Amino acid sequence: MVLKSFVEVQPDSHFPIQNLPFGVFRPDPNSDPRPGVAIGDYVLDLSVISSAGIFDGEFLKNSDSFNQPNLNKFLELGRPAWREARATLQKLLSADEPTLRDNGILKQKALVPMDKVQMLVPIAIGDYTDFFASMHHAKNCGLIFRGPENPITPNWFHVPIAYHGRASSIVISGTDIIRPRGQGYPTGNSAPYFGPSRKLDFELEMAAVVGPGNGLGKPIDINEAADHIFGLVLMNDWSARDIQAWEYVPLGPFLGKSFGTTISPWIVTLDALEPFAVDAPEQNPPSLPYLTEKKSKNYDISLQVSVTPAGHKETCIVTRSNFNNLYWTITQQLAHHTINGCNLRPGDIFGTGTISGPEPESYGCLLELTWNGQKPLTLGGVTRAFLEDGDEVIFTGICKGEGYSVGFGTCTGKISPSPRDLN
């Protein structure tokens, strides 16, 4: 029997009672930010529910974590509190529970139409790390830049590769992305190019949100890593390929990445994703003991990228991929991140890197889809090698259950022109 809510939920909704993702919102422009969960076309205001005394369990009864402008305090409480909150909310919103269903005043105050709210970055992000965890993406990048002799460097199969990103430029879905300026490869004997990026790209990623974290010098065991991951969001780690190509030797990405990263507003918990767990790919050679899991799993999350070209109404699907294309799991990524004693904190996030599949239609960025501009795409009558000003990119992610779906909503961003007054 499929669990039902008294709140009407359309069959194609991303937010049934089986999901209940967490976010932060303003019910109106003059209100303070507060936590909420998505249910159908509504946001349930957790500050209202908390003030009504409905969270009366062991971990949340005396907590003010839902009277905060972000979710960090709630994340710090850990998995027992997360599960208590989820169970309480599923019961509260179920079709046969009268507490909220039959209380007209409380219901009107607590359930806010989603199209009336402003969604915000749901966490205070202290640090952000980006991994390189898809074998297909790694291989394609190697083929493009190094050729077929050595497309994937030997270390990649032993160590989850990553770099530290810029947390301050992570923005919420719907925020415009200003085309970055920077240096590119010189032509012949000329000076390096300087100006707006000529190879602006999207990257189809997801990001894990860190829960309690760990103390400095205290690594997290691989088989306990899931207890430190609250959930996942969609993430577009925009990339200026020309700037990145010129700058990345010898220290890696910098200005080609740090100008903007977009995340979706709703964090889907690992508990909501558990019914969609699948076996992760077999790793060959076997991972080192500190990365070897008792149960190695990914999630069956269908991912899609669409582009609406500037001046056009038609949106074109350019990529269909899946989270299960990751070679290195999110738990391996987290365990590796801490193995040297690095301390992760509540609200930190780490991206998976571009999630590409084995087929051309599953490649997760324009660098791969157009083979670095050599094979432009046709989008509704126009061609694109890389993104043009005014183009909008839309990510979606969804898990299909029996009689319901668990989704992430959308992660969108439109390219704005580079400022003209910079030299």
What tokens were used for 373? 């501009």
Q: What's phi and psi for 122, nearest 5 deg? A: -80, -10
Please, what sign has the CA dihedral across residues 103, 109, 113, 119? negative
Is cis: bond before 285, omega within 30 of 0? yes
Q: Which of 344, 341, 343, 335 is nearest to 217 (CA)?
A: 341
The answer to whether the CB of 158 falls within 8 A of the CB of 379 is no
Helix (H, G, I), strand (E, B) or coil at 140: helix
Number of other CB atoms surrounding residue 383 within 10 Å: 11
The answer to whether the CB of 294 falls within 8 A of the CB of 226 is no
Number of other CB atoms surrounding residue 297 within 10 Å: 17
- Strand residues in 202-333 grouped as ranges (E): 204-210, 229-236, 239-240, 261-263, 268-269, 277-279, 297-299, 302-308, 316-322
The answer to whether the CB of 268 falls within 8 A of the CB of 410 is no
Q: Which of 103, 115, 123, 97 is nearest to 22 (CA)?
A: 123
CA–CA distance, 264 with 172 (Å, rounded to integer): 6
**HSE, side-chain direction, 13 A CA sphere, residue 417:** 5
CA–CA distance, 377 with 318 (Å, rounded to integer): 8
The answer to whether the CB of 93 falls within 8 A of the CB of 100 is yes
The answer to whether the CB of 201 falls within 8 A of the CB of 245 is no
* Residues listed for the chain: 423
Q: Kindly calculate the radius of gyration of the chain based on its CA atoms and give it in whole angstroms.
A: 22
Catalytic center residues: 137
Residue located via tokens 């879905």: 173
